[in-house]
Structure 1
Amino acid sequence: MNRILYTNAADWPALIARLALAIVVFPHGAQKLLGWFGGGGFQGTMGFLTGDVGLPWILALLVILIEFFGPLMLIAGAATRVAAFGILGNFIGIVVSSHLKSGFFMNWYAEANKEEGLEYFILLFGLTLISLIAGGGKASVDAELTKRSG
């Protein structure tokens, strides 16, 4: 367990990566769980993910929980690698199921209903991998626990 939480308490890039990742993913989770930012909330998202997307209810629930609580864990730097791993798995599933066929670009200027490309996800995966490798870094719960156990 110590290896999962271990981090360098002076690592600024790890802090920056985990906060950037949390800031980008949290609104998606808040849309899904709470209905913030124009989202469907828990009921609407569960209905969409289990009905339209066809996910089993347990996977739909995990998507919602990972996208909401994962960023909160990242902000605190608490079990950073666990949160990053959950986010990585979640977004790999999203890319494979919905975005691989759409190419590189976001395609916001294209016709309606065209899926987003991979550029956002490449950046998200980069930040996630930094968090997986470095852990929480500076100003994290993981760093405090590392100091106490060392």
Structure 2
Amino acid sequence: MISTLIRTNHTYIYAFLRVVAALIVLPYGLQKLLGWSSSPNFGPRGIASSLAQITAKKIPKSVAWLVIIVQSFGSIALLAGFLGRIAASGLFLVFAGALIVHLPDGWTQNWFGSKKGEGIEYFVLLLAVLMVIALKGSGALSIDGWLTR
């Protein structure tokens, strides 16, 4: 079963998509986990603030913890290409939830500050990339690829 999970096509396009997805998600995870942010007005500052922000949206605290863990460690695993299918699937679930939370805000992001929240266009694109990785694997230059050779 583990060989099925780490099996991958050794092409560079999947590696490219994997690294891009990881680099997109990693700042979200580290911001929630460690409080990394370039601006004091941008997002939560560490785990306590992240938990408060997520649970304020009526999301259970246990799910909020899973979001923080999956975004942080899932993006690192994705970057390394270690259990890429599992990492991409976990991140897919997290961002599918984010899409549902942001669905009332419409399709486009809040470019002009005229809406209450952000739209879902970003999440749709990220979900498509994560789905490819979950289905095809980590690709070239990955720990999964190294383990299956």
Q: How far did 1:54 drift?
A: 2.2
Would you say 1:110 and 2:126 are equivalent positions? no
Query: In the TM superposition, what are the counterparts of 1:29-108 in structure 2 within 5 Å?
Result: 29-37=29-37, 38=39, 39-50=44-55, 52-96=56-100, 98-108=101-111
CA distance in 2, matches of 1:75, 1:82: 13
Residues 29-87 of structure 1: CA distance to partner in whole angstroms, max 9, x if unpaired?
0110000014420111112222x122222101000001111110011000000000000
| Aligned residues of 2:109 and 2:118 also touching (Cα < 8 A) | yes
Question: Alignment length, in residue pairs?
Answer: 143
Residues 88-118 of structure 1: CA distance to partner in whole angstroms, max 9, x if unpaired?
000111111x21122211122032x621112
| TM-score of the aligned structures, taking structure 1 as reference length | 0.90
CA RMSD, 1 decimal: 1.3
Relative to total residues, which structure has the larger helix share, 1 or 2? 1
Map of 1:14 onto structure 2: 14
| TM-score of the aligned structures, taking structure 2 as reference length | 0.90
Secondary structure (helix, strand or coil) at the match of 1:115 reads coil
CA distance in 1, matches of 2:32, 2:120: 21
Map of 2:5 onto structure 1: 4
> What percent of counterpart residues are identical?
35
Structure 2 unaligned blocks of 5 or more: none
CA distance in 2, matches of 1:85, 1:124: 12
Secondary structure (helix, strand or coil) at the match of 1:36 reads coil
CA distance in 1, matches of 2:22, 2:79: 6
Map of 1:140 onto structure 2: 142
